[in-house]
Every structure is written in structure tokens, then in C-alpha cells.
Structure 1
């Protein structure tokens, strides 16, 4: 299997627009080294971002300068036109969010600095003593990063902009999980010791870094508990005006929120009906709960232990690549490598991280297994493998990274919206069903159960944050936490702890969770529009190639690019 990341097709000559986008990416990496590590840019792995008001102001100033440059540059082709549209849309939106103070007050149970400063260590190389020295330097940088973060949170609080108490409490618990002999940083020290590669000096540096990181998270926990919690708001909703902005942030598209809210309820009802039909196929006469109980008792659909889980993930993802390559998708050589991993954390989250620019770090599917969980149901999770792997995130993201002959580094590595990425991953799940990979009713029920959760959160997220009337099935009227829990738990057959975390996520991260299902809807609409235009000449493989070659742009820009409306 080839490992050469350079395509054999003729390269497109880089343009002034490409140079501008890459200058922006390099400047952004200097200001946010964790972003650089995440997207696979080398040279930043020993640093942390400046999260103080001054640091965030620098980021905004970069956005302002880059927008001014974009306004004066001339495109040479459609690739340039997409770059200008996509980068302008992202930076203008970032400036709108900065103007309302969103980066200053960022506290939530997922995807805020509380998690980001720790999670980045999952992606760092740890094979050599030099690698661990780099880890040690970044650990030492956590403490000043947290000091800057606290400074920003205090400034936002002085303006009356504070997260909900629900999110602050969740972050207190997460800070505590990083501390003590069983916390993340202590476990990191044990991992380092077990490698046997540390010199005495490297070991000392690592110990010092771990102590600094623990001090930082202890101070953050104390700040949350002793100061910010008392100032937090009791309401979860962010309000209609702010929600519209966050919806655009995660979709890269403008949608009619009232129409989308009504569609979400209709989609949830449609999926519920499909689940009941599928349950009857699994066990005639059974409802969904009965069918799930039946499947969970089937030993042939069980995996025991994380080693078996990882091996199963790898087998299924490899099989999908083999089956889809050269038939339904063009899958270049380096993209055919996907590593399945058990994450060092225990949050229960399943996620994907893309390859580095040179593919020396491959794309990876991660499973963060909660404490005490040792059994896994394959019928639930096959659809997850397709979502995170191929034809989901791995195909979409790794193929974009691979297209260096067509796309500049910003387009390949850092252009991303949830609506595009997560919408594609849900589209990929249904596509696998359409192609016959989910014909087993048990696997299909797993697909539908996941889709039910995605539809339920469209309703909850938009309804709660925009103040729309709750559905009749939960009593109508004003949304409350209990009504949101009733809707979610009645439509999602998953562990309570997982669903409670999910609900807190929706309440604290407005606009993100619905972007999966809304993004899928927009992807399907685009495919149908292309099919209607092409008629009998429509080719699904060509559609996929054309759309994926554009990269992870906002969905409005994607539509214009695919339809040739630039």
C-alpha cells in the first residue's frame, strides 16, 4: 500500500489567494498552537494559546486584517472563488461572535478550554524521550493558559455574560477528574514511565510539567467553585438572536428556525415509526424496548473488553474501505489507512481525528470508554464505525487533506463546519443502509436509534434556546429541563449517564448538536438538486467526488460551488 501523500495528477499552480489563506493559517497557528496540533501542523506542540482578553483580541485583529486582504485580492479560478467565500464567511462570523463576547465567556461541558487544554495531549507523539520532553513543555504551559482563561471569564462576568450554572458545575467535576492519583495527569505520568524511553532529565521535566498542569486545573476548579458559580445564570437558553448566530457558526448556512423546528418534530415522528417497524422485524410483536432487550441478550452481538472492541472497529472499518474503494468512492492510497484506538479518557465519547499534513499521523477513530464498561453491543455501533470512518469523517477529512494538488493548506487542514462534517457523516450512515450494508434489522435499529437522538436534539436545542413552544408529547408550553429530558429519554435508548451528558451539551452549546441532522438534510437536498439537473446522466460517485473535493466549507458555499453558482 502506498504511503505517498502526493497525488499523481497535475498540480494546480498556487495563486495569490492560496498564499493569503496559508498566511492566515500560519498566523492562526501561532496564536492557537492547539489548533495547529489538532490539524497536524508541526512545530507548535510545546505551546498553549493565550486565552486572556489580550490574546483573544489578537485573534480578532488577525481576522480583521485577513478580511481586509480578502476584499482586495482577485481570484484566478473557481478554487480561488470558493476560498474567498469560505474564508470570508468564517472570519466575518468569528468577528460577530467576538463582538458579543462569546470567546470570553466560553464555559461548557464539552469543547471549551476546560476540555481543550487537556484533550490535545491525546494527539501528541509519545514514542521517544524527545516526544515526552515536548509533552512536558506543553504541560508547563497549561498554568499560564488557565490564568489567561480566568482573566477572560472575569471580564465577561463583569459585563454580565456568564455561563449557566449547569455548565459551570459540569466543568468543576471535569477539573477534578484531572487531579489526584487517579486523574488524567497522574495517568499520563504512568504511561510515560511504562514506555521505558525517558532519561532522568526528561523524567524530571515531565514531573515538573505534570505538577504545573495539576496546579492550573486546581486553580480553575477553585475559581469556578468559589467565584464564577455564584454569578452563573440559572436559565439555560441563550435567546433567539444569539442562537441564530450560533446556528450559522455550526452550519455555515442560514436556515428558517421555525420551519426547521417543525421539520425536526416531523422527522422525529418519521424515525419513531421506522423504529417500530424494525422492532417488529427483529421480534414479531415486540416494541422498540422489547427488541432492544432481545438483542442485548444475544451473545453473538456482544464484545467483551476494549481489546475486542478495538479489533472489531478495525475489522469493520477496513472492510468498509475495501468494499467502497473504486466502486462508490475514489479512495487514495494514504486514505485507506485508518487506525482505530481506545482513548485514554473515559467520557464515553466516540470521535475522529484527521491525519497530519504528510500522513505520518494517520486518521484515527477514538472510543473513550466509561469506567466499568466492559461489554459492547455490535448492533448499536456498526453505524458509528461508518459515521467516524468510511464513508464518514475519515473519507471526508482525509481525502481533503490529500488533495494538495488542488487545495491550499487552509482549505485542506482547517476549513471545517459541523454542518458540513457531521452532516456528511449522517449522510454516510444512511448511504451505507441504501447500499445494503445495514440490511440486518438489528444493525438498522442501531442506525435508527442514533438518528432518533439526532432528530430529538434538533427539537430540544432549537426549542429551548429560541423559546418556541414545547411539543404536545411533553405537555406543550414553555420548555423546562424536565420536558427536555422527557423528550430525549423517550426517543433514545441509551444509558442515562450518557444521555444526561448529552442534554447538558445541548443546553450549553447552542446550535452545535442540531447541525448534524440539519447538515444531513442540506446534503440530501443538494444531492437531489444535482440529480434533478443531471437527469439520467447523474452519477453518484461523481457527485461524491465533486462535493468532497471542495473540502469542509460552510454549507451555503458548498451548495454554490457544487451547483456552479460562484
Structure 2
């Protein structure tokens, strides 16, 4: 497979739709019908109040759609390089989706960060609240929360009867989350209390509809918490490790590539050692003879590097993001004007984590960087967070996701909006962090230390995640015996530069979402291997490489490698 021809701007004539494009677009339309929340993510009208069917029947509908699309691709030949990538990517992604469905674990999906319990609530974050009509959509969707929750409970119960249940640790944390959403001061109660438009309070009838909808949503989340506590928790396994077979499937899902897990684990151990040594060197730049911990303490106590309160955090994020966009556009990256708006926001939840949501298809809703600040935390340090802004914004996720959305003259709907592979996306974002150092944006030793901290965290996650789930031997530097969650927590505490609240959240996340956390650093490794191979060839140009790679979209990393290396 050869590199795609890349249009230089969005005014270029669109490719004529091919038979493979038609299959991809038809499959995308089916996904939007089956998953109305996806339409909200894309900013598409017509599905504002609906949810997907989270029941076993709903899972089977998604599987049937994948089978139908794969059958439609049989016998089709690519007419150009763009088609070749689409065919490769769809066969890999949809084929793997069916493997996961056949394993039965899709119906048992439950963890502390990315399962239906969170998704059902989180879609409200993307719904606009400027007008009465928009609040009417929110009220309508709130009324549909109970059916969505009931379908989810049905799937969990069905998987339970098949012997597939998430670990007790995950069930317990979701009970806490669901109970919080159902509370008098939870998300839905606050949503109702804060309902206003630019013209003032909502009309009484609409406010009543919203009150009734959010009340029903609260009851539904209380029902979910009750089911989890009374039925699922008593049979949930105490063991967090998922084992090799399930882990290998998850790793392929998040990477879009097959890797040797033992070799990757050994590389993670070596990479962690390398990053610690580099941190020790930078600590000496901050103060001669300082340890890493001493250097961080110096940075934390520097008033010029401190932010107090979430308003200050949001303003600083926005200023740094805007500066990066302005300086990188046209120099190191192609960034069309419509992509230059990136909103930095404090998330409405306090569950921890920083994340990005992409723009709507017409860019009327811009890309957004969200910071979910754990309760009680109100002091932040710029040295520790600068690289995160580059990771989530430009040249990280925003540049990557918005580029794919923008390239409608080149990419079909599935390539632009549906195909997202964590190893590709998160690997690019980590590559972007390192690239900003390469481009001179992290010359300050404090900012450099912050970048190394984030890279070290991602390397430690490779070691922890693979080590705990496969129960491998602990490296001598970090202990003895085999990995367990208990010794793994101490290991994470030593290597993750985050607060106690964030640490507990991340620890639970890695145990409940196997394979996802390593996809960042392993994805970065695969991105860098592809670049290194191309750099060894005559005529390599870095900006051209970035343009070509980003215009392919977020495909699996094996597909990306075949597309770029030929």
C-alpha cells in the first residue's frame, strides 16, 4: 500500500465517490441510526433526544451492521491509494469488533471511565444550552435515560449469566459514580438548577419537562446502583488481572496492531529507566546536584509557575493553546483557519482526567479541551501541565482530529468521523509532546521536566498494565515476585506525578480498561518507528510527513504503517 495523494487545502476538488467509499458511508449512516449519541458527537441534527440500545439486542444490531459492511466489501478492488487504506482499515477494525462481540465481553462492559454508565451521562456535556429548543432536547434525552440504563442492565445481567463480569473493584466504583449522579446534589440535579438561556429562565412548561426528565434520570441511576450492588457485586471476581487471551484482544483493539507483549513489556521497563535518567540530568539544570524530587519541589514553590483556582487554570490553558496554534500554523503544520479555534474548558464533573472532544462536522461547535478537576483541588503548576496542553490541543489531538474532520474532499464519512484507534490517536499526541521539545518549545528546564514526567508516566503504564494483567515478573529495580495491584499501586505512586485523587482514579482505570493505557506509549513508539524508516529514505521532509500522516486519519497502526511505508 502506498502513501495517499494529499490535497493541499479544502478547496481542492473532491474525489469521485468509489464503491468502497459508498460502503463506508452507508456503514456510517447505519452507525448514526444505531447510535444517536454519535450524531450528537458529530453535531448532526435529528437525534438530539435519543440513545443507542444498550441491551443484548442492540449489541447484536451493531455486529450485524459490521458483518453486512464486510460482506459488501468482498470482491471490491481499490481504485486508488485512498481506497486501499479504507479497505485495509475497515477489514481490520470491523473484523476485530466482531471478534470482541463473539467473545461476549462487549455486553459485560463496565469500568470507571469508559463504559455505558459514563457514556449515558457524558453525552449531556456536548449538548448546547443556549436556547429553549436546545434545553428541550436535553429534557427529551433525560427522559430517555431510564430506557438506556435498563438496556445496559439487561446486557450486564446477560453477560453475568454467561460468566462474564467485571472485577469487583470496577463494580464498586461505578456504584459510587451512579449513586452520585442520583443524588440531590449530583449532575442531574445541578443540570436542572442551572437551566437558563441568554434570555433568562426557561418557560415554566419547559422547566417542568426538564425537572421531570432529570428526576427520572436520577431514579434510573439509583436503579443501576441498586442492581450493581445487589446482583453484580456478589458474583464479581476479586481478581483484577484479565489474563493473556482477553488482554491480547484488547491490545489489538487499542493499537490496531499486533505486538509481542513480552517484548513490549521489556521495552517499557527500559524506556522507563531511560526517562528517569534524563530527568536526573534535567534536575541538575534546575539546581546543580538536585534530585528529581528536589527539582520538582523547587518548581512547585516557584510563584511564577503557580495557578490558583480553576478560572486561572482555564485562562492559562487557553492562552498557551492559542499561542501554539498561532506559531505552528503555516510553519510546521497546515492549520486552516476553521481549525484554529480550540476552546479550553473546565469539565462539569470532578472525576479526574483531561480529555478532548472534536469539532462538529461543520465546525460550528469547535474542538474542546476539558479538564476534570478532582474535588478539593484548586492549585496547579504550569511546569507540570504545559505539555498536556500540547497533547490535547495543537499539535496533539485537536490537530489530528480536526484535520480528519476537515478533509471531506479526501476522506469518506467513516474515515473522517468513525475510525478512531487509541494507539494512533494517543500515540500521535505523545509524539506531539516530544515534537514540541524538538521544535524548541520546551527549552525551559521546568517545562522539559514536565514533559519527561508525562512520558515517564506513560512508560510506567506500559509496565504496570501488561505486568499486572499478564502477572509477569516485577523488574528488580521495583521489587520482586509477580505483579499484583497492591505492589503495582506503589509502583505507580513512585512514577506518576499526579495527586492522590488522580492516582486512585488512574489506578482503577488501568485495572478496568486493559490495554488502553499502554496504547499511548506503544503508539508513540510505532509512530516514531515509521518516521525513522522514512527519514532513512532520500528526500524526507518533516512537515510533508506530518501532512500526509494526518490526512490519512486515525486508522490502526498496522494500516498506517502499510500506508506510509508502502
2:535 counterpart residue number: 531
The answer for unaligned runs of 5 or more in structure 1 is 1-5
Q: For residue 43 of structure 1, report the CA deviation from its aligned partner.
A: 2.1
1:142 counterpart residue number: 145
Q: For residue 35 of structure 1, report the CA deviation from its aligned partner.
A: 2.2
CA distance in 2, matches of 1:349, 1:120: 16
CA distance in 2, matches of 1:400, 1:144: 33
CA distance in 2, matches of 1:41, 1:423: 28
2:82 counterpart residue number: 79
Report Cα offsets for 1:380-405 as digits up to 9, x if no partner: 00000000000000001101100011
Q: Is the 8 A contact 1:18 1:80 kept in 2?
A: yes
Q: For residue 40 of structure 1, report the CA deviation from its aligned partner.
A: 3.1
Structure 1 residue 94 and structure 2 residue 86: aligned? no
Q: Is the 8 A contact 1:303 1:377 kept in 2?
A: yes
Choose which of 142, 151, 158 in structure 2 pairs with 1:155.
158
1:396 counterpart residue number: 400
Q: For residue 194 of structure 1, report the CA deviation from its aligned partner.
A: 6.9
Q: Is the 8 A contact 1:164 1:235 kept in 2?
A: yes
CA distance in 1, matches of 2:155, 2:29: 24
TM-score between the two structures when normalised by the length of structure 1:
0.97
CA distance in 2, matches of 1:37, 1:235: 37
1:518 counterpart residue number: 522
Q: Is the 8 A contact 1:474 1:486 kept in 2?
A: no
Choose which of 355, 359, 363 in structure 2 pairs with 1:355.
359
Q: Is the 8 A contact 1:128 1:197 kept in 2?
A: no
Structure 1 residue 248 and structure 2 residue 252: aligned? yes
Q: Is the 8 A contact 1:272 1:491 kept in 2?
A: no
Choose which of 543, 546, 553 in structure 1 pairs with 2:545.
543
Report Cα offsets for 1:165-200 as digits up to 9, x if no partner: 000011011112212221000111122147525222
Q: For residue 500 of structure 1, report the CA deviation from its aligned partner.
A: 1.4
Q: For residue 72 of structure 1, report the CA deviation from its aligned partner.
A: 3.0
Structure 1 residue 203 and structure 2 residue 207: aligned? yes
CA distance in 1, matches of 2:76, 2:545: 30
Choose which of 530, 553, 556 in structure 1 pairs with 2:555.
553
Q: For residue 9 of structure 1, report the CA deviation from its aligned partner.
A: 1.5
Structure 1 residue 176 and structure 2 residue 179: aligned? yes
Gap change, CA 1:476 and 1:41, over 3 Å in 2: farther
Structure 1 residue 446 and structure 2 residue 450: aligned? yes
Q: Is the 8 A contact 2:132 2:197 kept in 1?
A: no
Structure 1 residue 408 and structure 2 residue 412: aligned? yes
Q: Is the 8 A contact 1:276 1:287 kept in 2?
A: yes
CA distance in 1, matches of 2:379, 2:179: 27
CA distance in 1, matches of 2:395, 2:495: 26
Q: How does 1:45-444 map to 2 (within 5 A)?
A: 45-193=48-196, 196-444=200-448
Q: Which moved more, 1:75-84 or 1:380-389?
A: 75-84
Q: Report the secondary structure of 1:341's partner residue.
A: strand
Q: Report the secondary structure of 2:107's partner residue.
A: helix
TM-score between the two structures when normalised by the length of structure 2:
0.97
Runs of 4+ in 1 over 6 A off after TM superposition: none
Q: Is the 8 A contact 1:240 1:467 kept in 2?
A: no
- Pairs aligned (count): 557
